[in-house]
């Protein structure tokens, strides 16, 4: 199969990807739209004419972005969504499922936190990064189908290199907790979820993608200890050697996943630097690992996720 590519690359910004796209009459939901990539993603979609819902834990924190969007004539509102509580997810979806939904951007996340549990007892990174988004998406399926052509974009990470999904102990109830392994599992889950979502619902006009946004210094790393940063090579000395993306560049692949014409008629892909990612070979710090492209694991994860949520 031919690899999907675009004219864009590592340095491209989200605004450059969005140029020429008119989203008038379309509705988008962006989770985690009060900081980092979520803010830029929502801003760019609103500038293209989309009506944007900022799905955030604290709607008051979105006032600055809402004022900015209103100032350039855009349409947006904020609504409470706590991905660490399935009841909050259900309340949000019930309030936002009435109108067709053209774009669902699963951007919110937590990284390398100490061992914590969600309201329903799931390991926090798995619960927020995957299960909360899984539940949100499945509840919004009627709105996505009603759009007559929708895209779901799951922000994954090269962190998926650190671990395949562990079906034997997904919530670290028996094994020793490792914050990076937990993050890796959740990011692999993002990729597998997009793969299976696309397989199940492409006949309904829903296409799904996952992606690596790039290395960006945002609040996502607020839980990292010095030990974790040293393991990652992002301690002060190591960070000076890294080629970081700006937030505007880091949001570009998300916008390409949502709008890119090169992606019309395809789905289930893992993207990187505004192109379909290459397979990641041993020693590579880019590309997609085979366990994040495993169709059988994707089906198994879907069934496990649905059962876990039903039992919560």
Catalytically active residues, by annotation: 183
What's the CA gap between 80 and 65, in Å, rounded? Answer: 15
CA atoms within 13 A on the CB side of 146: 12
Query: Which residues are CB-neighbours of 203 under 8 A, at least 6 positions away?
Result: none
Question: Is the separation of the CB atoms in 278 and 220 below 8 Å?
Answer: no
Residue with tokens 């990539």: 37
In this structure, what are the phi and psi dihedrals at residue 126, rounded to the nearest 5 degrees?
Answer: -65, -40
Element (H, E) at 139: helix 133-139
What's the CA gap between 151 and 192, in Å, rounded? Answer: 16
Dihedral sign from CA coordinates of 111, 113, 119, 121: positive
Query: Which residues are CB-neighbours of 64 under 8 A, at least 6 positions away?
Result: none
């Amino acid at each position: 199969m031919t690899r999907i590519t675009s004219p864009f690359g590592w340095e491209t910004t989200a605004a450059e990807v969005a140029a020429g796209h008119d989203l008038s009459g379309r509705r988008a939901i962006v989770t985690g739209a009060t900081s980092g990539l979520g803010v830029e993603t929502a801003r760019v979609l609103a500038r293209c004419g989309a009506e944007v819902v900022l799905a955030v834990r604290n709607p008051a924190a979105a006032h600055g972005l809402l004022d900015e969007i209103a100032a350039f004539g855009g349409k947006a509102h904020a609504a409470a969504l706590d991905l660490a509580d399935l009841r909050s997810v259900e309340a949000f979806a019930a309030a936002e499922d009435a109108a067709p939904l053209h774009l669902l951007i699963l951007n919110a996340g937590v990284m390398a936190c100490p061992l914590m549990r969600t309201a329903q007892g799931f390991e926090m990174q798995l619960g927020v990064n995957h299960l909360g988004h899984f539940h949100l998406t499945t509840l919004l399926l009627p709105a996505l189908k009603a759009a007559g052509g929708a895209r779901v974009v799951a922000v994954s990470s090269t962190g998926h290199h650190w671990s395949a999904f562990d079906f034997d102990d997904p919530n670290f109830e028996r094994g020793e907790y490792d914050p990076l392994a937990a993050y890796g599992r959740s990011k692999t889950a993002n990729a597998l979820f997009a793969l299976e979502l696309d397989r199940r619902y492409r006949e309904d006009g829903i296409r799904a993608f996952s992606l690596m946004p790039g290395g960006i210094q945002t609040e996502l790393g607020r839980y990292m200890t010095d030990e974790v940063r040293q393991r990652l090579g992002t301690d002060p000395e190591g960070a000076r050697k890294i080629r970081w993306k700006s937030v505007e560049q880091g949001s570009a692949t998300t916008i390409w996943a949502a709008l890119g014409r090169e992606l019309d008629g395809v789905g289930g892909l893992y993207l990187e630097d505004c192109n379909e990612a290459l397979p990641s070979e041993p020693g590579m710090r880019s590309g997609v690992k085979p366990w994040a492209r495993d169709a059988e694991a994707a089906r198994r994860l879907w069934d496990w996720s649905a059962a876990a949520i039903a039992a919560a």
